[in-house]
Every structure is written in structure tokens, then in C-alpha cells.
């Protein structure tokens, strides 16, 4: 928890200008659509930090909850605000990431959506020593992408890591491509190899 808070405040400081930029379009969009924005400051600030990171890594404001799929059509749909927002708000009261929600959504429903997210993303990692196997996570029914994706597992894995070297096992070439972009953006050393249709990503955190 302490490590998580330190990481949050570091990112908050680093992205403070970008957060303001995200805030502008988010407020405008919510007004136009008649939606509300998550009233939980910690969650909505984290989402703005992640949106800013996604923009930095992929040059597009990709959904902060899913790594790009490599399918151009699906990835276009996942630019925030994504094309799943209306049906997800209809289903959960909020969009998948719980950034936007129904107008006047009761506080307990915002909380329930936050809990749903935590249950999806704060899962026990398959990590042994410094090897993190990201495969086998449940798939999101609309995007057919894993939850948590490799980048969220990396974030959580780094909080548990002893030392500065991590090997990630990923199932698809796209995940290894995404991790290469993330490594470049964050200044990690990246090396990948493929054995029997499995991708091994060696990261050295600087």
C-alpha cells in the first residue's frame, strides 16, 4: 500500500500538466453527453495519469484499462472515450474504467463500480521470484482482451519486485510489442525471445 501511494504521488507530480489537459476534455465530454465523472478523486486522478501515459506510449489516448489489441478497428474503438461507453454505462452505471457514469449515479453505485474494477485488476499475480507469467487471465466480454492486461500486471509486479530485473511471459506477439513500447517510454532495458509460441520479455528497470 505504501509503495502504491509513493508511486501515485510520483506520477501525480510528473503528469500534473497532462492531468489538467485530460481534465478539460473529460469535463467537456461529460457535459455534452449528460454523464457524471467519478467523484472519487484518487480513482479519477489515477485514470487521468494512465490516460496521459497511454497517450505518451501509443500517441493516442487509448483506454487506460486495456493494452492495444493490434487490431486496428478494435483499437480505434478503444480510444477514450471509447465506443463501449454507452452500453457499459447502461450495464454497470459507469464505463468499464469507472471514469464516466450515469448522471446522478448514487454514491454506492460508484463505489460498487470501483470495487468491480479492483476485483478485476488487483488479482494475485502468477509471479515466482522475478518471473511473471501473465497468461490465463479472464477475458473482457466486449473487447476480448485480458483483464488485467500485461501492462497492469507489470505495474503490480514492479511493486512486488525484489531487485530490478523482471522476466514477463506473454501469450501474444502484440503483448510483447506493447511491452517494448512501454519499456522505451519508461526507459527500461527490453529484450524479447520466443520459445514454442510463448514470448519471454526480459526487463531491466533503471
99 belongs to the binding site for ligand SF4 (CB under 6 A): yes
Cα torsion angle, 139, 141, 143, 148, sign: negative
Q: Which stretch binds ligand SF4 (CB under 6 A): 14-22, 76-84, 161-169, 183-191?
A: 76-84
Query: Which of 122/194 has CB closer to ligand SF4?
Result: 122
Q: How far is the CB of 105 from ligand SF4 (least distance, A)?
A: 14
Choose, by CB under 6 A, the member of 19, 85, 182, 203 that binds ligand SF4: 85
Selected from 97, 105, 183, 203, the binder of ligand SF4 by CB under 6 A is 97
Answer yes or no: are the C-beta atoms of 35 and 103 closer than 8 Å. yes
Show the 3-state SS of 141-203.
CCCCCECCCHHHHHHHHHHHCCCCEEEEEECCHHHHHHHHHHHHHHCCEEEEEEECCEEEEEE
Among the listed ranges 4-12, 16-24, 57-65, 157-165, the one in contact with ligand SF4 (CB under 6 A) is 57-65
Distance CA 94, CA 102 (A): 6
Q: Which is nearer to ligand SF4, 98 or 201 (CB)?
A: 98
Query: Rounded to the nearest 5°, which phi and psi values hold at 136?
Result: 85, 15
Which residue, 46 or 176, has its beta carbon nearer to ligand SF4?
Answer: 46
Nearest to 113 by CA among 40, 189, 202, 28: 40
Q: Does 81 bind ligand SF4 (CB under 6 A)?
A: yes
- Binding status of residue 166 toward ligand SF4 by CB under 6 A: no
Of 8 and 84, nearer to ligand SF4 (C-beta) is 84
Encode burial over 97-124: b for 16+ CB neighbours within 10 A, e otherwise.
bbbbbbeebeeeebebbbeebeebbeee
Q: Single out the residue of 65, 117, 154, 201 in contact with ligand SF4 (rule: CB under 6 A).
A: 65
Dihedral angle, C-alpha 123, 146, 103, 33, nearest 10 °: 150
**Position 105 contacts ligand SF4 (CB under 6 A):** no
Dist CA 94 CA 138 (whole Å): 20
Give the one residue of 43, 54, 82, 179 binding ligand SF4; rule: CB under 6 A. Answer: 82
Is 35 a binding residue for ligand SF4 by CB under 6 A? The answer is: no
List of residues contacting ligand SF4 (CB under 6 A): 63-65, 80-82, 84-85, 95-97, 99-100
Amino acid at each position: 500500500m505504501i509503495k502504491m501511494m509513493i508511486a501515485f504521488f510520483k506520477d501525480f507530480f510528473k503528469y500534473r500538466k497532462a492531468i489538467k489537459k485530460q481534465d478539460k476534455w473529460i469535463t467537456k465530454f461529460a457535459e455534452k453527453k449528460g454523464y457524471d465523472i467519478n467523484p472519487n478523486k484518487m480513482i479519477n486522478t489515477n485514470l487521468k495519469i494512465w490516460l496521459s501515459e497511454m497517450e505518451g506510449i501509443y500517441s493516442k489516448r487509448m483506454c487506460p484499462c486495456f493494452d492495444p489489441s493490434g487490431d486496428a478497428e478494435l483499437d480505434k474503438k478503444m480510444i477514450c472515450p471509447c465506443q463501449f461507453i454507452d452500453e457499459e454505462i447502461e450495464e454497470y452505471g459507469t464505463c468499464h474504467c469507472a471514469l464516466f457514469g450515469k448522471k446522478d449515479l448514487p454514491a454506492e453505485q460508484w463505489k460498487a463500480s470501483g470495487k468491480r474494477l479492483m476485483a478485476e485488476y488487483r488479482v494475485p499475480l502468477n509471479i515466482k521470484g522475478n518471473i511473471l507469467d501473465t497468461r490465463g487471465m479472464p477475458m473482457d466480454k466486449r473487447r476480448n482482451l485480458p483483464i488485467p492486461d500485461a501492462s497492469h500486471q507489470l505495474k503490480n509486479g514492479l511493486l512486488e519486485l525484489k531487485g530490478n530485473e523482471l522476466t514477463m511471459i506473454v501469450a501474444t506477439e502484440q503483448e510483447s510489442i506493447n511491452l517494448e513500447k512501454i519499456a522505451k517510454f519508461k526507459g527500461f532495458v527490453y529484450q524479447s525471445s520466443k520459445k514454442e509460441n510463448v514470448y519471454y520479455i526480459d526487463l531491466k528497470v533503471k
